[in-house]
Structure 1
Amino acid sequence: MNVRRDVPVAFDPGAKSYDALVGANPGYNEHLRLSAERMALPDGGRGLRLLDAGCGTGLSTAALLSVAPHAEIVAVDGSAGMLEQARAKDWPSTVRFVHSYVEQLSDVGIEGPFDGILAAYLIRNLDDPDATLAEFRKLLRPGAPLAVHEYSVRDSPRAKITWNAVSTAIIIPFGKLRTGDASLYRYLRDSVNRFDGAAAFRGRLQRNGFVNVRSETMPGWQSGVVHTFLADAP
Structure 2
Amino acid sequence: MTLLRDRGLARAFDHASHTYDRLTALNPGYRTGLPRSARRLRLPRAGAGQRILGPGCGTDAATPALLRAAPHARITAVDASWRTLGRALATPWPSHVRFQHLTAGEAATAGEGPYDTVFAACLFRDVTDPDGVLTTVRSPLRPGKRLAVHEYSLSGPAAHRALRTAVCRGVAIPAGTLGGARALHRPLWRSVLGFDPAPDVTDRRERAGLTDVRIVPVAGWRTGIVHTFLARNGSAAPREHAR
Report the number of matched residues.
Answer: 232
Q: CA deviation at 1:17?
A: 1.1
In structure 2, what is the equivalent of residue 128 of structure 1? 129
Q: How many angstroms apart in 2 are the aligned matches of 1:206 and 1:111?
A: 26
Once the two structures are superposed, the pairs formed by residues 69-218 of structure 1 within 5 Å of their partners are 69-107=71-109, 109-110=110-111, 112-153=113-154, 155-179=156-180, 181-218=181-218
Q: CA deviation at 1:195?
A: 0.3
* Structure 1 contact 111–139 (Cα < 8 Å) conserved: no
In structure 1, what is the equivalent of residue 237 of structure 2? none
Comparing 17-26 with 186-195, greater Cα deviation is found at 17-26
Q: How many angstroms apart in 2 are the aligned matches of 1:43 and 1:193?
A: 36
Once the two structures are superposed, the pairs formed by residues 45-64 of structure 1 within 5 Å of their partners are 45-64=47-66
In structure 1, the gaps of 5 or more residues are none
Q: Deviations over 1:9-44 (max 9, x none)?
A: 110111111111111112111100000000111234
Q: 1:154 to 1:216 in 2, by over 3 A?
A: closer
Q: Does 2:95 align with 1:67? A: no
Q: Percent of aligned pairs with the same residue? A: 43
In structure 2, what is the equivalent of residue 24 of structure 1? 26
Q: 1:67 to 1:160 in 2, by over 3 A?
A: same
Q: CA deviation at 1:105?
A: 3.0
Q: Deviations over 1:150-176 (max 9, x none)?
A: 001151222111101111111101011
In structure 2, the gaps of 5 or more residues are 235-243
* Structure 1 contact 154–160 (Cα < 8 Å) conserved: no
Q: CA deviation at 1:8?
A: 1.2
Q: CA deviation at 1:230?
A: 0.6
TM, length-normalised to structure 2: 0.91
* Structure 2 contact 55–107 (Cα < 8 Å) conserved: no
Q: Which amino acid aligns with 2:189?
A: R
Q: Secondary structure at the match of 2:151?
A: strand
TM, length-normalised to structure 1: 0.95
Q: CA deviation at 1:122?
A: 0.5
Q: CA deviation at 1:111?
A: 5.2
Q: Which amino acid aligns with 1:190?
A: R
Q: Secondary structure at the match of 1:11?
A: helix
Q: Secondary structure at the match of 1:42?
A: coil
Q: How many angstroms apart in 1 are the aligned matches of 2:46 and 2:24?
A: 27
Comparing 84-93 with 11-20, greater Cα deviation is found at 11-20
Q: 1:13 to 1:233 in 2, by over 3 A?
A: same
